[in-house]
Amino acid sequence: MFYFSFQNSFKNFPNKAFAVDLFSNQKTTLHFTSSILPSLIITFTANMHGLVIKSTGSWYSVLADDGERYNCRIVGKFRIKGIKTTNPIAVGDRVKFDLEKDSNQGLINELLPRKNYIIRKSINLSKQAQILAANLDMAILVVTLASPRTSLGFIDRFLVTAEAYDVPAVLVFNKLDLFSKEGLEILQEFKNIYENIGYPCYQVSATKGINIPVIQELITDKITLISGHSGVGKSSLINALLPDRDLRTGEVSDWSDKGQHTTTFAEMFELPQGGFIVDTPGIRELGVIDIEKEELGHFFREIFKTSHNCRFNNCKHVNEPGCAVIEAVNNDEIAISRYESYLSIYHGNDTRH
């Protein structure tokens, strides 16, 4: 590494002023970072801005505002208040970095504020969280009514998660070419449930190319996460949206055989019309994050709206007297399937599949 060689040669310099003078005819930036002190890091071409489009854990591929891609590492420590993370920076992050002289390698020195981020908590006791992606503009859940069937419970869990992360969610019903007349009626029922509460629904066939231009337009200039059960057609959809990239379909993605650590690998693919698709095995099935029982109702849009009319302001909508949510379910104003999903998550039952 370029900066390590300079680091060593500066060890004998009496002070940093001397080091600066030495390069004063160049655009030089000096960093002192707690993790590497007392060494100096010398970099050139300061204050580049870019978007992190790939992360392998220690290296980040950054698409700079000048349109070039740079391999970057992190300088110093980045911390996010309140959570312990294994990786401080993720795909979708906007960063500032300094470029090393005559190379396409850079050092990230600042993380710009995020509008949202999604994490995966470790299941062991360390309670560490891994940031999977940041600054998502949209999360698409690919849904199929048959082979395989996506349950309403799974859809609702996904939507709760998206609400909790503050990522706008849409549903894309795939394999439209396989639908019978009866299937189309069920599709309409499903769409009614979700469109009524404000989630846009689309129906496509990834392999037959039906309605793909609609999705293309939908994701233009956005950072979009594509999620869903294995087998619903995520790879096929991504292939249809990114004609130049050929994802292998019908296979479980796994990079571990190439020595990559699967848990830290994530990548975004640039769309020809502008925007990015986030694809990483770790977030293909976005699970439900920890949500306090008391807060669960906040993440069901229609339950949250209706709950203002409950008699008790701490109503859990389970069996309380004067519960406006239960009344709305009885009056068919709230879909029974949605309320069942609420109760199921509330009681800690796993109906994900």
Which chain residues interact with Zn ion by CB under 5 A? 310, 315, 317, 323, 325
The CA distance from 231 to 224, in Å, is 19
Residue 75's binding partner among Zn ion, ligand GDP, none (Cβ under 5 to 8 angstroms by kind) is: none
232's tokens: 């619903």
| 232 binding partner (options Zn ion, ligand GDP, none; Cβ < 5 to 8 Å by kind) | ligand GDP
State yes or no: residue 187 binds ligand GDP (CB under 6 A). Answer: no
Pick from 174, 173, 172, 167: which is nearest to 139 by CA? 167
133 binds, among ligand GDP, Zn ion, none (CB under 5 to 8 A by kind): none
Total residues at interface with ligand GDP (CB under 6 A): 18
CB 302 within 8 A of CB 334: yes
Nearer to Zn ion, 93 or 302 (CB): 302
Q: Which residues contact 232 (CB under 8 A, 6 or more apart)?
A: 142, 143, 144, 148, 150, 174, 175
Tokens of residue 37, six digits:
């002190």
φ, ψ of residue 119 in degrees (nearest 5): -130, 160
Among the listed residues 297, 293, 302, the one whose alpha carbon sits nearest the alpha carbon of residue 328: 302
| Residues in contact with 237: Cβ distance below 8 Å, sequence separation at least 6, in sequence order | 142, 172, 174, 204, 206, 215, 226
Query: Which residues are CB-neighbours of 265 under 8 A, at least 6 positions away?
Result: 55, 56, 57, 255, 280, 281, 282
Q: Which CB sits closer to Zn ion, 51 or 323?
A: 323
Minimum CB distance to ligand GDP smaller for 79 or for 149: 149
Nearer to ligand GDP, 236 or 280 (CB): 236
Closest to ligand GDP by CB, 234 or 316: 234
325 binds, among Zn ion, ligand GDP, none (CB under 5 to 8 A by kind): Zn ion
Q: Are strands 105-111 and 60-64 parallel, antiparallel or unpaired?
A: unpaired
* DSSP letter, residue 6: H
Task: Name the amino acid, one letter, at 203.
Answer: Q
Minimum separation from the CB atom of position 249 to ligand GDP (A): 3
29: contact with ligand GDP by CB under 6 A: no
Q: How far is the CB of 41 from ligand GDP (least distance, A)?
A: 42
* Residue number with CB closer to ligand GDP (246 or 294): 246
Give yes or no for a contact between 317 and 310, defined as CB atoms under 8 angstroms apart: yes
The residue whose Cβ lies closest to ligand GDP is 233
Sketch the per residue contact string, 203 through 242, with ligand GDP: x for CB under 6 A, - otherwise.
--xxxx-------------------x-xxxxxxx------
* Cα gap 228→173, rounded to integer Å: 11
Judged by CB under 6 A, which of 68, 177, 189, 195 binds ligand GDP? 177
206 binds, among ligand GDP, Zn ion, none (CB under 5 to 8 A by kind): ligand GDP
**Which residues here bind ligand GDP, judged by CB under 6 A?**
174-175, 177-178, 205-208, 228, 230-236, 249-250
